[in-house]
Amino acid sequence: MLYAMPVPFVILALPRSRTKWLSQFLAPPGRSCLHDLAVACTSIQDFVTPFMRGLNGTVETGAVEGWSSLMAAFPKAKFVVVRRPVEEVLTSLAKFGISNQEVDMLRRARLLDHVSSLPGVHTVTFKSLEKEATCAWLYEHCLELPHNSARWKALDAVNVQIDMQERIAKLAWNAERIAKLKSAVTADDPKPQNVVVTAEPFASIYPECEVLGRRHFNETDEGVEPRRQWFLQAAPLELANRSGYLRTWSARQKGQLVGYIFWHVLPDVESGGMLIANQGAWFVSPSATPRTARLLWDRSIADLKAIGVQLENPHHRMQGRGAQLGKFFIKQGAKPIKQEYSLWIGG
């Protein structure tokens, strides 16, 4: 039986995530798949050209740097993310004498988090690649061919590794061109100053959030009620986040937290259990680009809609930079419905 050639696919992952093995598994007779195509590229066009010549897909460990450029170049391509804990990746790299990669791997991991959250992107874990069911899904999704169990069993028993010394030498040889490519895809990134906005668990944001939260508190609360002091309790917030009641989004610039927005999601018992969202903390560091706050708002609203929220209740404080946010809310279609007061009744 003949099968139509599938649309291209791009798999993004951190190093040491079984990517070389995947590139071989996803290249049966009649199909082609490369591994780390970006390493030899000096431009986006270098990456695109092999696909124009019939390449079916590629598995990449560094190309997430230019995720937006890739998605713009391949608007119909299938994107899949493979996630492996950063700690495991660092340990594996250390076995080859590669160290001091923590900052870079954490930054790439956050970019992978962002890509994972985009519509149409599928995500699998490194651990799940040990299971035939996961590999079967990838095979059928990427290649649009029936899963070949015999092929999987034959390859599953093989430990496919890249030659790390050869790879290090190749990276060194192409370092200048790779730097130019990174610069080009960074310039193409539609997010201002490389701000990456993503749904991120509170446990991942803390304790960076504690630092920004203190600035937030000082800007909006300090002086309103001097007896109310800043003391963040992380455990209740983590519990609420894990339960789905508290939803959290982060804005990161070069891996550093520069802003966040929280929403409390719950059923409205006064309207038959309709899902509503009450805005919690929304703060952006004064050093961040002005558009960061809007990126957080837009991303969180889109995600809330996706889970079925029908009504949101935003708010703003009377102090600080958010004092004029009412105009923004009204422009979005919101209606002013109440005023809130602070009254100290303690000793």
- Tell me whether residue 99 is exposed, middle or buried, using C-beta atoms within 10 angstroms of its C-beta: 0 to 12, 13 to 18, 19 or more: exposed
Closest CA to 212 of 277, 264, 263, 261: 261
DSSP assignment letter at 96:
T
Q: What is the pLDDT of residues 316-335, one digit of tens each?
A: 999 888 888 999 999 999 99
Q: What is the pLDDT of residues 12-31, one digit of tens each?
A: 999 999 999 999 999 999 99
Compute the distance between CA of residue 119 and CA of residue 156 in angstroms, rounded to an integer: 31
The residue type found at 252 is R
pLDDT at 228 over 70: yes
Compute the distance between CA of residue 253 and CA of residue 94 in angstroms, rounded to an integer: 27
Reported as a pLDDT band with limits 50, 70 and 90, residue 175 is low
Q: Give the residue, 173 or 330, on which the prediction is more confident.
A: 330
| Homologous superfamily, domain 192-331 | Gcn5-related N-acetyltransferase (GNAT) (3.40.630.30)
| Domain boundary assignment for the chain | 9-188, 192-331
Compute the distance between CA of residue 289 and CA of residue 170 in angstroms, rounded to an integer: 36
pLDDT at 222 over 80: no
Compute the distance between CA of residue 211 and CA of residue 76 in angstroms, rounded to an integer: 41
Decide: 263 and 300 in contact? Cβ < 8 Å.
yes
- Give the pLDDT of residue 187: 41
From 172-176, 229-233, 276-280, the region with the lowest mean pLDDT: 172-176
Q: Give the residue, 319 or 40, on which the prediction is more confident.
A: 319
What percent of the chain is modeled with pLDDT above 70? Answer: 88
pLDDT at 171 over 80: no
If you average pLDDT over residues 219-231, what whole number do you get? 85
**Bond into 207 cis (ω within 30):** yes
If you average pLDDT over residues 141-145, what whole number do you get? 93
CATH class of 9-188: alpha beta
DSSP assignment letter at 147:
-
Decide: 308 and 274 in contact? Cβ < 8 Å.
no
From 102-111, 191-200, 235-244, 276-285, the region with the lowest mean pLDDT: 191-200
